[in-house]
Structure 1
C-alpha cells in the first residue's frame, strides 16, 4: 500500500473517532476503528484528549433533552397501541422506528462533530507549546576572588542574538552595575545595567547581538570598573 493510500485510510478511519467515543458506530465500523486505534499513536493521543467529552455532554441541562423525549413519547405510545393492529399499523410502527434511527444517526453525527471540534480546540490550545519548545539555554555561575557576590547566568539562544537572565546575590547596594559579554577577540560589549538593591538581590534580563557561540565570557562590574563576578562560557 502506498503512502497516499495509507494516509487516505487513516483519514477515513480518523473520522470515526467522535462516533467511537460516543458509542455510535456499527459493529463493523467499531471493529475497524478499534484495530486502527491499536497501531495509530495519533488517534490514541486524540482519543485520550477528548475521553472526558461524554461526561461533559451528560452534564448538559436536562431541559435541553425534554423536546427530544417529548418527540419520542407519542411514537412510543403509538407503538403500544399498534401492537395488536393490522399490517397497516405494523408498517406505521416500522416507519416510526426508521425515523428514530435517522434521528439517532443525526444526533451521533452532531456529537461526532462536537468531538472533532474539541480535538481541534485542544490541539489549538496545546499547539503553540508543542510546536514551539523553549529555546535552548545554558547556565553558568559567575564569582570573583575577593567578592562575595554570586551571579547565576542563563544564556538563551534567540534569533536576534543571545538573551542573558541574571540572578544576583550580595551585590553592591545603590551602585550602578553593568554586565558585559566578551567575544573571541577579547572585545567587551555591555549587555545590560541596573542599580543594586538594598537587599543585594536582583533578577535582571540583558541582551546582546552576539550569538551564543561567539560569547567567551561574562563579566559583571560596577560603573567605576570594580569586578564583581566573572564566568567563562
Structure 2
C-alpha cells in the first residue's frame, strides 16, 4: 500500500471522487485488500442512492465554501467539497460522508457497515474479479427473463439503507444506454444504476465477457416486486422477479 492509499479511501472511490492517479493506485490496492473490497460492495449501493437524490431545496442562508446545504445534487456537492480539500487526507472526508449525506438530504440516513467475511470465492479467482463479479459469484443468483437473446440475473441482499444488487448481463449489443430499476410492490420505480453498452456489446461473439454491475435502491428488499433492465428508450431487456 502506498502512502497515498488508505482503507478509508473506499468512500471517496465509490463516489468517483478520487483523482485519476489516486484512483489507479486504490484499484491496485483493492486487489490485495479483502476488507476494502467487501466495504466497496456496500458503498456501491449507497453511491447509486446518492445519485438519485437530485437537487436539494434552497437554503435561505448564504452558502459558505464548505456548506453542503444549498442547491445542487448531493454527489456534485460532495465532489466540489472533495476538490476543495484535496490536500487533506481523504480519510477525514470519507469518515464524514454519512453525516454529510444525512444533513443535505433533509433526514435521509444511509448506513454502511464493513462485512464480517468474504464471499466463498477462491483467492486465485477473486484476484481476477471486480467487486460486482465477486459478490455475484459468492451469492445465489436469481435468473431473469430476457428478450432477443439477452440473459442475466441478480444477486440481491437487504441493507439498512435499502437493497443492494449485483447484475450479470449477457447477449447484449450496443450502442445502448441502460438502467437497472427496482419496481416496488406499490409500483414505485427507482433507478439503481446506469451504464452505456459499447457497440461490441457483452456476452456476444467477439465480446464474450458478460457485464457485471453493482446497484442500490432505497426500497427495502421485502417491498420490491421485481427488477428490470431497460434502455433509455424504455425497452425492457430483462426482468428479474424478487
Q: TM-score, normalised by structure 1?
A: 0.40
* Greater Rg over alpha carbons, structure: 1
Q: TM-score, normalised by structure 2?
A: 0.39
